[in-house]
Amino acid sequence: MSYLAEISRSNPTAFLFLIDQSGSMDDPMPGRGRKKADGVADAVNNLIQNLVIKCSKSEGVRDYFHVGVIGYGTYVGPAFSGALASKEIAPIKNIADSPARIEDRTRKVEDGAGGLVDQVIKFPIWFDPVASGGTPMFQALVLAHQILSHWLDEHQNCFPPTVIHITDGEATDQPADIPEAMRKLTSLSSVDGNVLLFNVHLSSNPNAKEIQFPSNSEMLPDQYARTLFNNASTLTPFMLSVAAKDYGLQIPEGARGFVLNASLELVIAALDIGTRPANLR
């Protein structure tokens, strides 16, 4: 395990989101009233914004990252909204310059007197919620492999790409082939290591409990969760240190990049842990 390559404008890394957009994503988040598709869209937009911020310097946004969003439901393919709609993956500066729109959102902040007040913030939207059709996960994994295989042909010295996969169910296309498709994806590599796969599972199984970064599958409720766990990448030492230092999460050695029915806030934190690079130059 390496994952120590310097990330720079001449040697960027890549982040590819695979987002389940099947009809069941219209259901509520586990234990919450909000729809899964809405919560996931906000989490993805939030993380993209964080990536833009990390690349922002006094002279502008530096292309440390290339980012793509692939959705799968009725349609399998690029899922950016607006001007980026046809892009499978794009440099972060292009993404920063091309949100589909900017929305006004409110959040609670301390008022200095022990209370909370609403604060209006600007929230850029690159990705909109969609929930329709089946769950063609196999097709999405094959497309992800194609995209990153081509990308790695031109970036062999990079910090390995990270795939962030968010889903709520079983594949409806070739489910028996999902483990092999995930293994094939994570077998892609740069000279610095293999592609990292981070699985976030939003399960509707009534026996599913919130689990974060387990090192074994003993508490997982069904085979779908076990498949996602078994084929997620082992967290790197740097990810473990970030989890402990910045989020107070004590994660065991051997933990995998897998989260089950976590709160939206933890999902965002988990994505940040999974995508934060060690070196930006």
Domain ranges of the chain: 13-275
What is the per-residue pLDDT for 234? 93
For the chain, which residues score pLDDT lower than 50?
Answer: none
Q: Which of 20, 58, 42, 79 is nearest to 265 (CA)?
A: 42
Tell me which H or E stretch contains 199: strand 196-201
Q: How far, in Å, CA of 182 to CA of 138, rounded?
A: 9
Q: How many angstroms separate the CA atoms of 125 and 196, rounded?
A: 25
pTM beyond 0.75: the answer is yes
Question: Strand 116-125 to strand 101-110: parallel, antiparallel, or no bridges (unpaired)?
Answer: antiparallel
* Region of 133 on the Ramachandran plot (φ > 0 left; ψ -120 to 50 alpha; else beta): left
**Which residues 6+ apart lie within 8 Å of 207 measured at CB?**
221, 222
* CA pair distance 171, 262, nearest whole angstrom: 21
End-to-end CA distance of the chain: 21
CATH class of 13-275: alpha beta
Tokens standing for residue 49: 């914004």
Q: How many whole angstroms separate alpha carbon 70 and alpha carbon 130?
A: 12
| Residue 270 confidence (pLDDT) | 66
Distance CA 83, CA 219 (A): 43
* CA distances from residue 124 to 43, 91, 256, 273 in whole angstroms, order as listed: 12, 17, 31, 22
Q: Is 152 helix (H, G, I), strand (E, B) or coil?
A: helix
Cα 20 to Cα 200: distance, rounded to the nearest angstrom: 10
Instruction: For 14, list phi and psi in degrees, rounded to 5.
Output: -130, 145
Contact 96/55 with Cβ under 8 angstroms?
yes
